[in-house]
Amino acid sequence: MHSYESDFPIDIAWCPGCGNFGIRTALIQALQELSIDPTLLVFAAGIGQAAKMPQYVNANYFNGLHGRALPVALAIKASNPKLTVIAEGGDGDMYGEGGNHFIHNIRRNPDITHLVHDNMVYGLTKGQASPTSQIGFVTSVQVDGVINVPINPLALALTLGATFVGRAFSGDIPETKEIIKAALQHRGYAFVDILQPCVSFNKINNFGWYKSHSYYLDQTRNTEDINQAFALAQDTRKMALGILYQSKGRPTYEDEVNIYKEDATPIVSRLRDIKGINAFIQT
C-alpha cells in the first residue's frame, strides 16, 4: 500500500483541531484504497491553509498562485492525460480569487477532481469574510456583519453542467473518504465542497453547527436526477451531504480536444520532427 507520508519530518501549519486534518486523513485513505500510484498523482493548489494540503501528502504537486489551481490542473491533465490530477484549496481560493476559473472549468469537464475546503471564512489572512460567509457574519473587516449574499457553489456547479457534484463534512472521515473516492473514480470534472470548521476564525459555523445543519442523502437515490439535485443544492438551511448529482458518460475535455481525437499519445510524449518545419518553410 502506498504510504503518502514523506520520509522526512513535516511541520504542519494548521491549527490544532482544524478540519483540514480530517480531510487529510480521508484523502489519504481514499488514495490508498484506490491504489493510486503517487508518482502518477499531481496536486495543483493555490494559496491558503487548505491549499497547503499537497505539502503534507507525499506526491507530485504544483503549489502555485492564489486562485489559480484550476488552470494549472487543466493544463497538467491535458498535457499528460495519464496522470491523476487533484485541484485542492479553500473557499476563498477557489470561489473568490479563482471564481472565473471555477466557472469555466466546469464547462470544460476535464477529468480532474476538485476538492474545496469550505469553512466560510478566510483563515490564512486571519478571519475576513469569504464568498461563502453567511449574512451577518462579523469580522475585522465586515464590522457590522456580512451584507453580500453567499455564493452557492453546488447550485452554481449544477447550473454550469458539472458532471459530479458532492458535499462532505470534514468531521466525518469515513463518509468524506467515500465521497472523495467516488469523485476520484468519476470520469470528468468531479467537484466536492467539503464543509469544515475553522477553530480560530469562525466561532459561528463550528463543529456543532455543521452537525445540526447537515444530513446525509439516501445513497440508493437516483443521482442522475438534475432537478432533485438543484432542489437539494438550493436548500441551504439544512445541507445535504453525499453525491448530489453525477452524470456518467459525458465526454471529457481530453476526449473532446481535437489533437487527442485521432491519437491518444499525451503531447508530452510526442516528438517534434524539425524536418516537418523545414519542409513547411520550403513550401
Q: Taking CB under 8 A as the criterion, which residues in 169-228 touch other proteins?
A: none
The reply on whether position 128 binds other proteins by CB under 8 A is no
Q: How far is the CB of 18 from other proteins (least distance, A)?
A: 17
The reply on whether position 68 binds other proteins by CB under 8 A is yes
Among 25, 64, 211, 217, binds other proteins (CB under 8 A): 64
Q: How far apart are alpha carbons 124 and 201 in whole angstroms? A: 10
Which of the ranges 76-84, 114-122, 137-145, 190-198 carries the binding residues for other proteins, by CB under 8 A?
76-84
The reply on whether position 65 binds other proteins by CB under 8 A is yes
The reply on whether position 3 binds other proteins by CB under 8 A is no
Q: Taking CB under 8 A as the criterion, which residues in 240-279 touch other proteins?
A: 257-259, 262-263, 267-268, 270-272, 274, 276-278
The reply on whether position 52 binds other proteins by CB under 8 A is yes
Identity of the residue, 98 or 153, whose beta carbon is nearer to other proteins in the bound complex: 98
Which of the ranges 59-67, 113-121, 143-151, 176-184 carries the binding residues for other proteins, by CB under 8 A?
59-67
Total binding residues toward other proteins, as defined by CB under 8 A: 56
- Binding footprint of other proteins on the chain (CB under 8 A): 8, 10, 13, 38-42, 44, 47, 52, 54-55, 58-65, 68, 70-76, 78-80, 82-83, 100-101, 103-104, 257-259, 262-263, 267-268, 270-272, 274, 276-278, 280-283
